[in-house]
């Protein structure tokens, strides 16, 4: 179910990311995935 009125589309367009922002986001995602996989390995070892 959409909150948009019938016949109206809300389009949100953001500015393109800079190389610095893109790299920061990629690093954050990589760090998050690495941390998550370490937790899963540790969890399997404790079973």
Residue 19: is its pLDDT beyond 80? yes
Q: Lowest mean pLDDT: which of 7-11, 26-30, 36-40?
A: 36-40
24 pLDDT more than 90: yes
In whole angstroms, what is the distance from residue 33 CA to residue 40 CA?
11
Q: Which positions ≥6 away from 8 have C-beta within 8 Å?
A: none
Q: Sort 11 into a burial class: Cβ within 10 Å, 0-12 / 13-18 / 19+.
A: exposed
Rounded Cα distance, 18 and 26, in Å = 12
Give the residue-averaged pLDDT of 36-43: 73
10, 4 contact by CB (below 8 A): yes
């Amino acid at each position: 179910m959409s909150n948009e009125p019938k016949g109206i589309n809300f389009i949100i367009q953001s500015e393109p990311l800079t190389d610095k922002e893109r790299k920061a986001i990629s690093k954050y995602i990589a760090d998050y995935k690495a941390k998550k996989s370490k937790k899963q390995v540790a969890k399997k070892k404790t079973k």
